[in-house]
């Protein structure tokens, strides 16, 4: 994430950082992320105010395609807080371009560096539209262009998975504190978000913001309708609002013999599970069956989570996945690097 500060509460920290890093530009937003403008670090004193503002370092130089800057929206669904489970849509990204050209850079032209509601669609970008005409999705078109430009698109995609996983893992304790104020029963919640990223010219990714309950109306951009429909269909399937009959990946045959039925040696048999553990397994299994184009990025059997505090259910869930990954590849996600 680009270096950012909340003002006025973090003004002194921003002041110190700006003095030590005088180069570059800063994007300043109001408390409601409106009235966006750019200032240079040397003008930081102009930001001393009692008004709530958010200041974030501008990613420079950004990746430009056909002279325009763009952002990438990644759809994610959180289906559980304790234990934490976060899914990321793999089939498509929402790619939006700024209304005006980025080059030559004009700090007074917000439309050249901020993607607004009246953004330029990918179909109006000749370089990428050439791929779209051949049947590519937004994600495929961008990746093909980047590959042709010599970028490592495999690592690029893995970076998104790692970023999404870490954001929710690092914020989980704060989210738990919020949920304590609500009567949320185990397994009875889910929330969809769109995480917006920008990219620099070297294909490094930077998280700009996380949008709760993102707009899925295609009224302004009708061509986006198939994307939004796919997002909703996959989400409804993931959380169990629609389903089909598929063989469950949770095999009880691991617990059939007398040795395995010893709970000390194999704690994952049905008869060994507590009610909370059984609920976790049932929800996790259902989601793994019906996840569609979503991929579980946290937890992952290939990495240790960066949770501030790993709960008993977090540990049980990850151990359960590792156990079944040994016997069924459906429990093994693509490795995060």
The pLDDT assigned to 61 comes to 94
Q: Collapsing DSSP states into helix, strand and coil, what is residue 127?
A: helix
Assess contact for 259 and 265: CB atoms under 8 A: yes
> Has residue 75 got a pLDDT over 80?
yes
The predicted-structure confidence for 253-290, as pLDDT tens digits, reads as follows 556 565 555 787 778 888 889 999 999 999 999 898 89
Q: Please tell me the least confidently modeled range out of 144-148, 161-165, 180-184, 321-325.
A: 180-184
Sign of CA dihedral 133, 138, 139, 145: positive
1-58 shares its CATH topology with 62-238: no
* Nearest-angstrom CA–CA distance, 196 and 208: 6
* DSSP-based helix, strand, coil % in the chain, nearest 5: 35, 20, 45
> Has residue 134 got a pLDDT over 80?
yes
Q: What is the mean pLDDT of residues 222-249?
A: 82
Burial of 18 (C-beta count, 10 Å sphere; 0-12/13-18/19+): buried
Average pLDDT of every residue of the chain: 87
The predicted-structure confidence for 158-177, as pLDDT tens digits, reads as follows 999 999 999 999 999 998 88
| 307 vs 336, higher pLDDT | 307
Per-domain residue ranges of the chain = 1-58, 62-238, 252-331
* Nearest-angstrom CA–CA distance, 48 and 67: 34
The pLDDT assigned to 256 comes to 59
The pLDDT assigned to 49 comes to 64
The pLDDT assigned to 93 comes to 97
> Has residue 252 got a pLDDT over 70?
no
* Nearest-angstrom CA–CA distance, 319 and 279: 15
* Nearest-angstrom CA–CA distance, 268 and 272: 6
CATH architecture for the domain at 62-238: 2-Layer Sandwich (3.30)
The predicted-structure confidence for 223-235, as pLDDT tens digits, reads as follows 999 999 999 999 9
Q: What is the mean pLDDT of residues 69-93?
A: 96
Whose CA is closest to 179, among 82, 34, 75? 82
The pLDDT assigned to 242 comes to 73
- Asked if residue 83 has a cis previous peptide bond (ω within 30° of 0), the answer is yes
- Vertex 326: Cα angle to 320 and 327 (nearest 5): 100
* Nearest-angstrom CA–CA distance, 80 and 193: 14
The pLDDT assigned to 244 comes to 57
Burial of 164 (C-beta count, 10 Å sphere; 0-12/13-18/19+): buried
* Nearest-angstrom CA–CA distance, 120 and 232: 23
Q: Which two structure tokens, joined as six digits, stand for 251?
A: 């095999």
Work out the pLDDT band at 316, boundaries 50, 70, 90: very high
The pLDDT assigned to 110 comes to 93
| 265 vs 196, higher pLDDT | 196
Work out the pLDDT band at 337, boundaries 50, 70, 90: very low
The pLDDT assigned to 231 comes to 95
Options 2.60.40, 1.10.260, 3.30.1490, 3.90.660; CATH for 1-58 is 3.30.1490
The pLDDT assigned to 225 comes to 94
């Amino acid at each position: 994430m680009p270096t950012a500060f909340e003002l006025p509460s973090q003004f002194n920290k921003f002041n110190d950082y700006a003095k030590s890093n005088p180069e570059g530009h800063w994007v300043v937003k109001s408390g409601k992320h409106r009235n966006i403008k750019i200032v240079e670090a040397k003008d930081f004193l102009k930001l001393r105010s009692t008004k709530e503002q958010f200041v974030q370092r501008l990613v420079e130089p950004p990746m430009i395609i056909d002279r325009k800057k763009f952002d990438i929206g990644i759809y994610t669904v959180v289906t559980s807080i304790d234990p934490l489970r976060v899914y990321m849509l793999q089939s498509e990204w929402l790619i939006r371009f700024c209304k005006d050209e980025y080059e030559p850079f004009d700090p007074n032209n917000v439309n050249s560096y901020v993607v607004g509601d009246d953004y330029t669609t990918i179909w109006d970008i000749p370089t990428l539209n050439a791929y779209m005409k051949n049947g590519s999705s937004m994600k495929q078109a961008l990746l093909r262009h980047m590959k042709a430009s010599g970028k490592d698109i495999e690592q690029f995609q893995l970076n998104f998975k790692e970023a999404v996983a870490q954001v929710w893992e690092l914020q989980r304790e704060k989210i738990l504190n919020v949920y304590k104020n609500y009567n949320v029963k185990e397994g009875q919640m889910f929330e969809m978000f769109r995480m917006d990223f920008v990219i620099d010219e070297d294909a490094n990714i930077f998280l700009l913001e996380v949008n709760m309950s993102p707009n899925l109306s295609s009224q302004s951009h009708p061509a986006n309708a198939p994307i939004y429909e796919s997002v909703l269909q996959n989400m409804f399937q993931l959380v169990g609002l629609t389903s089909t009959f598929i063989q469950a990946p949770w095999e009880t045959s691991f617990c059939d013999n007398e040795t395995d039925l010893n709970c000390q040696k194999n704690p994952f048999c049905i008869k060994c599970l507590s009610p909370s553990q059984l609920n976790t397994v049932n929800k996790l299994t259902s989601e793994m069956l019906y996840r569609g184009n979503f991929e579980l990025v946290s937890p992952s059997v290939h990495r240790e989570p960066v949770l501030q505090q790993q709960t008993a259910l977090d540990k049980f869930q990850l151990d359960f996945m590792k156990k079944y990954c040994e016997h069924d590849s459906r429990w093994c996600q693509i490795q995060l690097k």
